[in-house]
């Protein structure tokens, strides 16, 4: 992928020494070609899980090996990479993966969503709307949305082939009958381009609407499970629901305590053992940008609170 978005190189750390003895972005070209084929097939059949011969990576399975292989196969020297985990650039695994690419590919890295051409993520979609030319790479633990309803791969592949998704609808219906809600708050299943039911990875369902008609290319890599799938730009992505129980997203009662942002996903932070808590943006870059723009939450270290006078 080439840098389609105007960027300034916003490397967030001193450039790491390039790892010698390995190919650009670690994987050998044969492997990259095999993975690119799988990606192209995935793009051609939106939401379909393409098997690929996942390689052992120098990080453990379950820690983003699928996403890393996809990123390694699409990234080029001119790309700018952002890596987030739980919405934040500074969580340990995000730091580790960003370092890996800085070291094996020597690419520029950034924490700014807008500046990135390739964004690898675990569990979140950035709050900042993505643009054409950006690639969002999801790390996927269990790619099969039907897995916990049917453990057998031979069965689930047949169900997908027949577009037989009754099991899933019954599960969602039973949730409503039993709990009054669909008890699925993350990895909420979606239907892609009117055909395949797909697992959006364990993003909170709050993020599901961001997938719909996104101008960015969305790629999903599951290393341990050896699957790649994709949602091409401007593709319909519908969260499964019922007419009388339409899909809704989580709402938070209060704004971000640091940037006063609303309509964003918040993390709960426990402050003490007496029930004290605060809510802050899960997307750390979004939060920082808002603060840099002058927004002030109630618990930000310096003075004025947003909301009463300026916009919230």
> Interface with other proteins by CB under 8 A: which residues?
13, 22, 26, 28, 51-58, 60-63, 65, 85-88, 90-96, 99, 122-124, 141, 151-154, 179-181, 183, 185-187, 202-206, 224, 226, 250, 257-258, 265-269, 271, 278, 280, 282, 284, 287, 299-301
Could you tell me the smallest distance in angstroms from the CB atom of residue 234 to other proteins? Answer: 26
Is 297 one of the catalytic residues? no
What is the spatial distance between Cα 9 and Cα 11, in angstroms, rounded to a whole number? 6
Active site (annotated) includes residue 106: no
Shortest spacing between CB 2 and other proteins, in angstroms? 27
DSSP 58: S
Which member of 42, 66, 261, 287 is catalytic? 287
Query: If DSSP codes are grouped into helix, strand and coil, which group holds residue 81?
Result: strand
Active site (annotated) includes residue 287: yes
Residue 11: Cβ within 10 Å count = 16
**Residue of 294, 305, 185 lying closest to 255 (CA atoms):** 305
Nearest distance, CB of residue 232 and other proteins, angstroms: 22
Residue closer to other proteins by CB (options 22, 236) is 22
For other proteins, the closer CB: 88 or 214: 88
Please, what is the minimum distance in Å from the beta carbon of residue 4 to other proteins? 28
**CA-to-CA separations, 95 to 19, 91, 110, in angstroms, rounded:** 17, 6, 11
Q: Which residues contact 160 (CB under 8 A, 6 or more apart)?
A: 48, 49, 146, 196, 197
Catalytic residue among 47, 67, 223, 261: 47
Place of tokens 């993520």: 121
Chain CA centroid to CA 266, Å = 16
List the catalytic residue out of 87, 221, 223, 256: 256
Is 259 annotated as catalytic? yes
Whichever of 100 and 235 has its CB closer to other proteins, that residue is 100
What is the rounded CA–CA span in Å between residue 146 and residue 227? 14
Q: Which of 42, 87, 259, 297 is catalytic?
A: 259
> β-strands 50-51, 227-231: how paired?
antiparallel
| Residue 133 is among the residues annotated as catalytic for this protein | no
- Closer Cβ to other proteins, 49 or 235, answer by number: 49
Of 123 and 295, which CB lies nearer to other proteins in the complex structure?
Answer: 123
CB of 99 to other proteins, least distance (A): 7
Which stretches does DSSP call E strand in 45-115? 50-51, 80-85, 108-109
- The residues annotated as belonging to the active site are 47, 256, 259, 281, 287
């Amino acid at each position: 992928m080439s840098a389609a978005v105007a960027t300034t190189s916003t490397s967030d750390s001193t450039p790491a020494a390039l790892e010698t003895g390995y190919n650009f972005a670690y994987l050998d070209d044969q492997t990259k070609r095999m993975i690119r084929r799988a990606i192209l097939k995935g793009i051609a059949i939106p939401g379909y899980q393409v098997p690929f011969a996942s390689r052992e990576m120098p990080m453990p399975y379950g820690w983003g090996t699928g996403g890393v292989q996809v990123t390694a196969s699409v990234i080029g020297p001119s790309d700018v990479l952002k890596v987030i985990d739980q919405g934040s650039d500074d969580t340990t695994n995000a730091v580790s993966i960003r370092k890996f690419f800085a070291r094996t590919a020597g690419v520029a890295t950034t924490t700014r969503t807008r500046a990135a051409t390739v964004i690898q993520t675990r569990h979140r979609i950035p709050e900042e709307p993505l643009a054409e030319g950006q690639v969002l790479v999801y790390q996927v633990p269990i790619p099969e949305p039907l897995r916990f309803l049917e453990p057998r791969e031979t069965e689930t592949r047949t169900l997908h082939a027949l577009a037989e998704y009754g099991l899933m609808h019954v599960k969602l219906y039973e949730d409503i009958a039993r709990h009054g809600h669909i008890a699925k708050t993350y990895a909420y299943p979606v239907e892609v381009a009117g055909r395949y039911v797909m697992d959006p990875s364990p993003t909170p369902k709050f993020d599901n609407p961001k997938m719909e008609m996104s101008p960015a290319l969305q790629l999903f890599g599951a290393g341990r499970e050896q699957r790649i799938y994709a949602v091409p730009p401007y593709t319909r992505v519908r969260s499964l629901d019922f007419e009388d129980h339409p899909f809704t997203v989580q709402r938070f009662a209060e704004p971000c305590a640091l940037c006063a942002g609303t309509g964003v996903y918040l993390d709960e932070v426990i402050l003490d053992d007496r029930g004290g808590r605060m809510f802050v943006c899960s997307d750390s870059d979004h939060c920082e940008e808002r603060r840099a723009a002058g927004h002030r939450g109630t618990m930000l270290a310096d003075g004025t609170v947003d909301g009463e006078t300026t916009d919230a």
